[in-house]
């Protein structure tokens, strides 16, 4: 069994088309077909069912694909570690982040790190809360920023970097626009603009409102921060967002108001895999981030 056979197999399995896989891999279609046939002969099973020009994984092919992808990720990670032990300053890090940390938090961290380690590269991926967790678990991401961050998980280490408050975002024409703060319970009769159900910021706001004694009336939803801020600016309703989401606020259209009695907060942190050793460049970044925020808090 050869490594190239496994890579050919994965490409064909994901595309379900041999000729498309050949184009993506820049090899002849006949070469891929031959290597797949050799792999099937060695395993003694058929991995694909042929359907005209297309192919479909057999049941055993699906099982083999799952294990093959895991094995290839482990091999790629091992090669990356070897390359980086030779020169740790030329590594590349796959970092995940949520939309709420995209506008200011992530640029400030990455730019500060790049000043010290200019040759280390980044592959950045924005994603939902559950996507980021799963991607660190299955090696799609090396590290990820998360808010809130958990500290107990069977497969992931979570480090809290800081805690931040939520604020109410209200239209400039709203009666609360000139207030320095508002009691949480006073928001019970407002129309809310939130992320859709399933988004972590949706659940945090729902939980916060219920802890304050009411269920929010959600009249509109947006799937990104710009959409939500735009709906608030248009006077559709109010929303609650963590402090790090307010860096690009246009005060001509909407206003940030502190919430008290009770405050609503979340932790922000970094997650890494628990059972896989970080590559040198990843370890350098991980240590930098913890040092960066430890000193910033002082």
Note whether 229 and 85 are within 8 A (CB): no
Residues 122-171: pLDDT tens digits?
A: 999 999 999 999 999 988 899 999 999 988 888 899 999 999 999 999 99
Note whether 194 and 231 are within 8 A (CB): no
Tell me: pLDDT of 280 over 90: no
Q: In whole angstroms, how large is the CA radius of gyration of the chain?
A: 24
Beta strands in 139-245 (DSSP E): 143-146, 156-171, 181-183, 191-194, 217-221, 239-242
Residues 188-238: pLDDT tens digits?
A: 999 999 999 989 999 999 999 999 999 999 999 998 898 999 999 999 999
Q: For 38-56, what is the mean pLDDT?
A: 85
Note whether 149 and 160 are within 8 A (CB): yes
How far out from the chain centre does Cα 194 lie?
Answer: 19
Tell me: pLDDT of 78 over 80: no
Rounded mean pLDDT of the chain?
89
Q: For 107-132, what is the mean pLDDT?
A: 92
User: Which domains does the chain carry?
Assistant: 3-84 (1.10.10.10), 89-298 (3.40.190.290)
Give the pairing of strands 181-183 and 143-146: unpaired
According to the model, what pLDDT value does residue 202 have?
A: 95
Q: Up-side HSE of residue 99: CA atoms within 13 Å toward CB?
A: 16
* pTM, entire model: 0.71
Cα angle 241, 213, 257 (rounded to 5 degrees) comes to: 30
Residues 243-267: pLDDT tens digits?
A: 988 877 777 889 999 999 999 999 9
Tell me: pLDDT of 61 over 60: yes
Tell me: pLDDT of 83 over 70: no
Distance CA 205, CA 217 (A): 11
Tell me: pLDDT of 85 over 70: no
Tell me: pLDDT of 11 over 60: yes
Note whether 240 and 167 are within 8 A (CB): yes
For the packed helices 18-25 and 29-43, what is the interaxial angle rounded to 10 degrees?
110
């Amino acid at each position: 069994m050869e490594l190239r056979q496994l890579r050919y197999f994965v490409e064909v399995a994901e595309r379900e088309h041999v000729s498309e896989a050949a184009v993506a891999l820049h090899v002849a279609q006949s070469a891929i077909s031959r290597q797949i046939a050799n792999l099937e002969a060695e395993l003694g099973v058929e991995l694909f069912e042929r359907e005209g020009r297309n192919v479909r994984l057999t049941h055993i092919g699906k099982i083999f694909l799952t294990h093959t992808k895991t094995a290839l990720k482990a091999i790629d990670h091992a090669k990356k570690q070897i390359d980086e032990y030779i020169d740790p300053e030329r590594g590349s890090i796959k970092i995940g982040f949520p939309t709420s940390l995209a506008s200011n938090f992530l640029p400030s961290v990455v730019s500060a790190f790049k000043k010290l380690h200019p040759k280390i590269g980044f592959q950045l991926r924005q994603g939902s809360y559950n996507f980021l967790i799963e991607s660190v678990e299955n090696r799609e991401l090396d590290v990820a920023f998360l808010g809130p961050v958990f500290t107990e998980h069977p497969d992931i280490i979570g480090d809290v970097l800081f805690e931040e408050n939520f604020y109410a975002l209200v239209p400039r024409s709203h009666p609360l626009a000139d207030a320095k703060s508002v009691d949480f319970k006073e928001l019970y009769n407002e129309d809310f603009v939130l992320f859709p159900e399933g988004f972590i910021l949706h659940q945090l706001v729902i939980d916060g409102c219920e802890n304050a004694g009411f269920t929010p009336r959600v009249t509109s939803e947006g799937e990104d921060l710009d959409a939500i801020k735009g709906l608030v600016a248009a006077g559709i309703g109010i929303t609650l967002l963590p402090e790090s989401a307010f860096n690009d606020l246009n005060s001509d259209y909407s206003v940030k108001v502190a919430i008290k009695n009770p405050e609503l907060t979340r932790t922000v942190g970094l997650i890494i895999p628990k059972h896989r050793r970080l590559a040198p460049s990843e370890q350098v970044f991980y240590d930098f981030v913890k040092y960066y925020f430890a000193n910033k808090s002082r």
